[in-house]
Structure 1
Amino acid sequence: MLDRLEQRPALLALLIAAVAQALFTIGIERPSTLLFDEVHYVTAARVLLDFSHITNPEHPMLGKSLIALGIHLFGDNPIGWRAFSTLFGTATIVGVYAFTLLLTRATRPALFAAIFALLGQMVFVQARIGMLDVFLGGFLVWGGVAFLAAMHAKTRRVWLWWLASAVLLGAAVGVKWAAIPYVALAGVAFLWLRWRDPARFSGMHWFPALAAFGVVSIATYFATFAPAFFYRVGPMTLDRLIPFQFEMWALQTQVLSPHNYQSDWWSWPLMLRPIWYFYEKDQGVMRGVLLIGNPAILWTGLVAVAACWWAGVREKAGVPLAAAMLWTFSIGIWAIIPKSLGFFYYYYLPSIVLCVVLAVAFHHWRDALKRRDEWLLIPAVGAFAYFYPILSAQALTHERAFTRWMWLPGWA
């Protein structure tokens, strides 16, 4: 059956979307109260709905606007807080499939990259909470898809895909400034790829292409502030728009007090300090939500990164090298981003890239491994099922039930 589905990539994408959306939506009403940073972002979305005044000014507005739209459509309740998160979670999984398909030009690694991302637990948890990261990831992944589509396009559609990439990446910055390095990466990658093979990005001269990309992405970013112009108190103005960016920068780079869940960037791939988003009584029973990756996928993925670097350097294999470089970039930027505190959820984007790297590694060594990528699904599914109760806020038996899942001291 899998071999037949590999011959129908569009149908496969629809099936992936259906499974992901069902998995993310079931039980979304749990917990029934705000959890973790929903306290900040859902509260900001409520204020935004009333157009009363600016709130949560340290981040741009697009992610909070999407949460507000969910509340407007479905009510001020857990479904309204998290509905658009589930949609963007599904879009992220399908985007991983499309990105890997364009990167490898093969359906099987694309399918497995999507499955790894679906079972990797990071997208699952973020797709069921009203935070900004799932919107950031969705826009970035599809910005990458559009970038690769433009690279491969041989017709006038190259400009369509190129400008779509600019819009999507600009929207990602409109969710969180953490997307800015990826916009810069797209520009550098474009120049490098064009220099290596002028046939890529057919018909596009580098200067007008980069100029259009910059103008469109920046315009998209500033367009996300449109709701702020309608505040009743202290509305945004064109004169204030640029100075406001410096106010945001000051808030982004301020020194914060130590936090119980803070962690260093180098510890995230090892999952030394995951985060309890929620652990208390809700609807009469104990429930928990732990942001933690699937060990079978995230730890195995680190071996895949090393393998892809090996293939890229020693064998001059372009696709594995590109995948390894993208993961290294995605984690490496956190070593230089001026944040006084780090948290495991910052690993969200690198964890998604890691699923692509893992699928690419299996694909590159498919003959030697004899399609044993399927074997990894056994521990991956098993680990997902094992952690599911504390990923999805299932009812737990008692207050100390969490100890069942605490493998390392830093997990408690």
Structure 2
Amino acid sequence: MGFLWRWRVTLMATVVGVVAAVMRFATLGYPQALVFDEVFYARGAYSLITIGYEGEWGGENQDFAQGDFSQLTSEGDYVVHPNIGKLMIGWGMKMFGPTPYGWRFMAALVGVATVLMIAFIARQLLRSTLWGGVAGLFLALDGEHIVLSRTALLDIFLTFFVVAAFGLLVVDRHVTSRKIYADAARQRTALGLGATSLIPGGGPNTGIRWWRLASIVVFGLAVSVKWNGLYFAAAFLVLSVIWDWYDRNKAGYVKWFTGGFVRAIPAFLTTVVVIPLVYLASWIPWFRADKAWGRHWAEDNPGEGLTWLPDSLNSLVHYHEQMWTFHQGLDEPHNYESNPWGWPLQLRPTAFYFEDVTDVDCGAERCVSAIHAIGHPLLWWVGAAVLIYAIWRILRHRDMLALTVTAGYLAAWLPWLPLAHRTIFTFYTVTMAPFLVLMLVWAMQRIAKPERLGGRWWKPGVIMCVVYVGLVLIVAGFFTPIWIGEPIPYQYWRLHMWLPSWV
């Protein structure tokens, strides 16, 4: 049995990993251009690894893509995101040079890693290697995740750290719940209680939870890519407390709420210390660079700001005030801005790249290369319906698994709804994609193995799931050219514009 288990897990990881890698690394160096916001992040990453901080650039944006790096100046550039994502982009350039492949390599690598992590997370949550493989396959074939994995933007790194932190919490829950149930069994034996009798107290002290501590550190890295990593940290760390309450209650402890709450206090205190420390450490390049933007603001403006802080920290706080003001005022019209209410249906996806191609014969009079960050329609549209069902399960049946698989999706989406007036984009939904596929496979498992059959396979449900997976594969093949920028006939590109708002 052990050999069979290892064989199935190895096969799952291999298939999922190969599909994810092919979709992300094939023709990764094309196009030979700065795609969408790579103009900020690829050049910023090059500056970080070259002069140690982000300097201003002169000349034309695309000079960089053609190998002209002479336009980098020593003047500090005003940037509005932390460093970790750009440093990771820079690691790719250190390995493969400042080329399109080099500045996209790390995005592709963490994209593949995220797919594999989701496969194993789904496998743990659903207790099934098969459904873990389906989850990994779905994320491997999702357009949002593919496009962002092939582009040097920050959001794929945020997604990677968020999924990694969530995975660590899943492991923590597995380890901790085993301790809780084992302690409950010992308590019942010691007190001479029956198998279903309630147990006095709030449950065991589970000690230092190293997996949760590691998760908090990784959440700090997520925040060090983009600030909205805080939304995920808050949502998932609260979820871990809810898991604790649930397990203590299910184990039969009378004071399950108090027991879980008391042990949540150290986790909260650890969080409010560790995440800021990790975030502060991510600014080390800025502290070390005399010419970085705003580095000596406090010295140049004596008596201003938080004067009780050291000058370097006072300058950093002022810099963050500027960053916050920028983000709050980001409301200028943009062709591809989108209302977050439409994100679950991908109503206004972001066009990253669109150029006529003259040096490739695509078999038509007009050939184009287009990259659209469009989520796989069959995944996202069905996922919106599954979300409604999952919320009903949570409210009506207090379904803990439904809450678990929807928490990340909601954490990635709900905080943006009050900001609908801002200039925001659908490609931010790449952070929703991993949790979208968790919701989908959770629902598919319930269809294929309905509760009323006691976990046995239901043939009509199995057929529906197999047909759905087949359709997902077919549609993914159809959309792949506009996810990777493959030169295609213009009319073929038009066939992909299923909604007027996609054009």
| Match in the other structure for 1:209 | 267
CA distance in 2, matches of 1:360, 1:381: 19
Say whether 1:321 aligns with 2:403. yes
| Match in the other structure for 2:238 | 188
Map Cα deviations across residues 171-223 of structure 1 (whole Å, 9 max, x no partner).
01110112111111133223333333337999992222221233222211111
CA distance in 2, matches of 1:99, 1:64: 27
| Match in the other structure for 1:392 | 484
Q: CA deviation at 1:59?
A: 0.6
Secondary structure (helix, strand or coil) at the match of 2:17 reads: helix
| Match in the other structure for 1:51 | 52
Q: 1:146 and 1:182, CA in 2 relative to 1: closer, same or farther beyond 3 A?
A: same
Q: CA RMSD in A?
A: 2.6
Contact 1:66–1:84 (8 Å) recurs in 2 = yes
Say whether 1:176 aligns with 2:226. yes
Q: CA deviation at 1:45?
A: 1.1
Structure 1, unaligned runs of 5 or more: none
| Match in the other structure for 1:379 | 471
CA distance in 1, matches of 2:42, 2:423: 22
CA distance in 1, matches of 2:14, 2:348: 35
Which of these residues, 67, 87, 92, is aligned with residue 70 of structure 1?
Answer: 92
Map Cα deviations across residues 245-301 of structure 1 (whole Å, 9 max, x no partner).
222211221233200111100111122211211011467343111110111111111
Secondary structure (helix, strand or coil) at the match of 1:60 reads: coil
| Match in the other structure for 1:218 | 276
Say whether 1:146 aligns with 2:221. no
User: Across the two proteins, how many residue pairs are aligned to each other?
Assistant: 408
Map Cα deviations across residues 3-49 of structure 1 (whole Å, 9 max, x no partner).
x6797435533442233123210110111111101011111112212
CA distance in 2, matches of 1:7, 1:309: 36
CA distance in 1, matches of 2:212, 2:419: 27
Q: 1:278 and 1:320, CA in 2 relative to 1: closer, same or farther beyond 3 A?
A: same
Give the AA of the match of 2:169: F
Aligned-pair identity in percent equals 27
| Match in the other structure for 2:494 | 403
Q: 1:82 and 1:114, CA in 2 relative to 1: closer, same or farther beyond 3 A?
A: same
From the CA coordinates, give the structure whose radius of gyration is larger. Answer: 2
CA distance in 2, matches of 1:397, 1:338: 35
Q: CA deviation at 1:108?
A: 2.4
Which of these residues, 423, 436, 459, is aligned with residue 354 of structure 1?
Answer: 436
Q: CA deviation at 1:325?
A: 4.3
Contact 2:23–2:141 (8 Å) recurs in 1 = no
Give the AA of the match of 1:46: Y
Deviates more, 1:294-303 or 1:330-339: 330-339
Bigger relative contact order (CA 8 A; separation at least 6):
1
Give the AA of the match of 1:220: V
Structure 2, unaligned runs of 5 or more: 56-75, 180-205, 296-311, 361-367, 451-457
Give the AA of the match of 2:174: H
Contact 1:277–1:290 (8 Å) recurs in 2 = yes
Q: 1:86 and 1:401, CA in 2 relative to 1: closer, same or farther beyond 3 A?
A: same
CA distance in 1, matches of 2:92, 2:78: 18
CA distance in 1, matches of 2:97, 2:292: 27
Say whether 1:306 aligns with 2:418. no
Say whether 1:246 aligns with 2:326. no
CA distance in 1, matches of 2:245, 2:492: 57
Contact 2:231–2:411 (8 Å) recurs in 1 = no
Q: CA deviation at 1:329?
A: 3.6
Say whether 1:36 aligns with 2:36. yes
Give the AA of the match of 1:115: L
Contact 1:81–1:130 (8 Å) recurs in 2 = yes
Say whether 1:106 aligns with 2:181. no
Q: 1:279 and 1:166, CA in 2 relative to 1: closer, same or farther beyond 3 A?
A: same
CA distance in 2, matches of 1:326, 1:78: 31
Deviates more, 1:320-329 or 1:41-50: 320-329
Secondary structure (helix, strand or coil) at the match of 1:272 reads: coil
CA distance in 2, matches of 1:224, 1:373: 44
Give the AA of the match of 1:42: A
